[in-house]
Chains A and B, each alone.
Chain A
Amino acid sequence: MTQSVQERVIAIIAEQAVIDPSEVGMDQTLEDLGIDSLGLVESIFAIEEAFDISVPFNANDPKESSFDISSVASIVAAIEGLVAAQAA
């Protein structure tokens, strides 16, 4: 597994959005990519499975979660943090 966390997260998001990973921009929101609330929870599930981590996300109030989903960049940064914390 030589892919970076960023590449793997983007691949998961791209699959959910049914687009090519190259079309995913770091400053885009999930809404920009056409991913709805069900698509979001499915993406988080796929990310948890891929990295064997637990993502602190509550669909009832996404803004209150410590997990920042405001853009692709923020999601990648949060996952990188979780992966690093798990490795430590």
Chain B
Amino acid sequence: MTQPLIDIKGVTHAYQTQSGPLPVLDNLNVSVPEGGFAAVVGPSGCGKSTLTRLIAGLMKPDTGEVWLHGERVKGPRSTVGMAFQNPVLLEWRSILKNVLLPLEIVPTKLSKKEAEDRARHLLELVGLDGFEDKRPSELSGGMRQRASLCRALIHQPEVLILDEPFGALDAFTREDLWQIMHRVKEEEPFTGVLITHDLRESVFLADEVIVLSGRPATTQYRLKVPMDGPRDLEHLYTPETAEMLAILRHQIEIAQGRAPAESSEVAE
């Protein structure tokens, strides 16, 4: 196997709080191959968001190393795109200008016209054509999240980091966005890390699900999800999916300390 695109090696991290250090990550190892899409699930407050900040170079781990594309991450880099649960669109800009924001920071070869065309194309891809000149306040939550996704992709990042981007949406909108994610991945290939609380979301979108243990988090379990191209929602209701969900649910219970731990293994 070639070297993974995202490689997190033995990362340990603790936050300094008033009542002493609070360890959140303990010897965590995660690797995602190029074009892979890993979902990270785990109990709340187990350090999943810390993980995204480490990959994005927004924080440095206490010990251990984070590598992207064969280079050690020492600080923020322009090859990363991020989307959060809060779409954080800039209210004073149109949707199009919001999507173009990263290109004002990252050096780009695109001319102004080409950049705009690309932004329009992305907006069309997520079904927001016709909303380019609207303000974020005129859009619904799901639409804002789609615009935020376009912004994360505009500069063609190698790595897309999604920190619970669909967490605040209603169930139907969320399923909509899952399918859009498949469409986007096909047209705009990326290597992705998805933080989520939703097990169905993890097996629907990702080709590998990583279960983190409770705090301090370490890799407790890894589940490979057979993935052959885009899926439709039917996929959620197959016996295979049901079986995977059962395994993951059990692992989450272990992580929460509600079920006895067993030796962790990697299911194929």
A and B from one assembly?
Answer: no
Give residues in B with beta carbon < 8 Å to A.
Answer: none
Which residues of A are in contact with B by a Cβ distance under 8 Å?
none
